[in-house]
Amino acid sequence: LIMGTGLNLSERLVSPGELVTLVKRDELDIHSISISSLVQSWIDAVGNRESFDALFAIFDAVTVLMSIKLCTLLPTFEIGADAEEVEQTERAEDIDWIYTLRDELRERESYAHSLFSRPPIAQETVFGEVDPNALYRLAEEIIAKYRAKPSVELQKETINIGQRRREIEREISVKGRMNLRVVLEREKSLLGMIVTFAVVLEIAKQGKIKLLQRTPFGNIWIEWRG
């Protein structure tokens, strides 16, 4: 019932929703109903208590009833063998198209992966003739020296990594060979040392320099390769 108001249809109290249910269950002949008269009756019954919910229920019921009535009035057509064959062909074409889109998507994902992922770098390319543990020990030793220095007031420090990389590349290319310990220890701050150490490893990974260590506990040298 709409807003608690019953509507009389063939001596039965019905609402728009109930009427739709009766028609769908085939308990009421849609062609025996005058939809326009029903709409007017519903609106009159609502009267001054008209609300959005009540009007929406009426509109929804009318839409469903009109759709059912139109469907029952349309002529029915039997699907012949040719039409069924066409339908199957179209379905097969749709399936082929879906598989084509799937394969294309996989190719694009594979291509994107090749663009944004790097192949693993061989250890020899980065470290050259240097034991990675020796690099770790050198960095650990220099960090310990920085921590042992008298504490000073910390100031905000900004380091341009790209600029630092260009400076190191330029200096090594000119000198041809440099001692890694000297390069690190000349930095004025711990942050500068860490950035320089990371930049040196990145340049080595690109193959522009090579790290060398002639003896197991000897100095580590940076050699320019170009």
Q: Does domain 123-224 have CATH number 1.10.10.580?
A: yes
Q: Which residue has the higher pLDDT, 120 or 215?
A: 215
DSSP, collapsed to helix, strand or coil, labels residue 211 as strand
3 state DSSP class of 178:
strand
Decide the pairing of beta strands 12-14 and 7-9: antiparallel
Pairing of strands 177-179, 12-14: unpaired
Half-sphere exposure of 7 (CA within 13 A, CB side): 23
* 3-state SS track over 151-214: CCCCCCCCCCHHHHHHHHHHHHHHHCEEEHHHHHHCCCCHHHHHHHHHHHHHHHHCCCEEEECC
> What residue has token string 């090749």?
114
pLDDT tens digits along 6-42: 444 443 445 667 767 777 777 667 666 676 766 666 6
Rounded to the nearest integer, the mean pLDDT of the chain is 70
φ/ψ of 23, rounded to 5, equals -70, -45
Distance CA 201, CA 190 (A): 17
How would residue 169 be classed by pLDDT, with cut points 50, 70 and 90? very high
Extents of the domains making up the chain: 7-73, 89-118, 123-224
For the beta sheet containing 221-224, the strands, ordered from the edge strand earlier in sequence to the opposite edge, are 177-179, 221-224, 209-212
Q: How far apart are CA 226 and CA 221, in angstroms?
A: 15
